[in-house]
Structure formats: C-alpha cells, structure tokens
Amino acid sequence: MLDRLTRDDFAARLHQTFRICPPGLDPLEVELINASSWGKPDPLSRGRQPFSIVLRSPMRDRYLPQHIYPVEHDDLGRLELFLVPIGPDEVGMRYEAVFS
C-alpha cells in the first residue's frame, strides 16, 4: 500500500490524529501537520511525485529515535513508516517520513 499513497492521501488528513506504535510501549498520538511534494516524479515508482509528511507529538523533551514504526490511522490503517525526529517546534517533537 505504501507505494500507492500520494501526498494528496495525507493532505486530506491534515490535523488528524495518527498513532505511532513502538514495540513494547504505549501508542503515541501524533498530529499530521504537513504533507508536501518535492522533486520530479520517478518513472520507476509509476510516476509518483516524491513527498514527505511531518507528524507532531505533544512531547517536546522526549522523542523516539529514527526507526521503522507501525503508524496507524483510522482511514489509512496500519503503515510501516521510517520516521526521523527533526526537532521540536513550539508545540512538540516533529517526525518526518519521506516517500520517493
């Protein structure tokens, strides 16, 4: 399913709640705060425009290390995403996933 998702799939869910489910820990509720395209479509990925999403947790001082995590959403289901912490903003810690 990951290879069929586009920026628009996520942009339609901006400010909705997702859950990062680290093994052995309680799920962490996060908000989708950004979905942006960049670069040119790659013919090897069936012409999908590369994009990234940014999720934000309410915790500023604690974060999950970069890793592949199960991420759940009520409409999209369970996705295995490589998340990278990109630092806090004024609200909480931000995580980015890149789709190329």
The predicted-structure confidence for 62-97, as pLDDT tens digits, reads as follows 899 999 999 999 999 999 999 999 999 999 999 999
What was the pLDDT predicted at 97? 98
3-state secondary structure of 52: strand
The predicted-structure confidence for 56-69, as pLDDT tens digits, reads as follows 999 988 899 999 99
Closest to 51 in 3D by CA, of 1, 3, 97: 97
Domain boundaries, the chain: 2-45+57-99
User: In angstroms, what is the C-alpha Rg of the chain?
Assistant: 13
What was the pLDDT predicted at 26? 95
Closest to 54 in 3D by CA, of 22, 89, 21: 89
The predicted-structure confidence for 38-54, as pLDDT tens digits, reads as follows 877 766 666 778 999 99
Residue identified by tokens 């012409």 is 47
Cα distance between residue 11 and residue 68, in whole Å: 22
Bridge partners (DSSP) of residue 51 are 37, 99
Between strands 28-37 and 17-20, the pairing is antiparallel
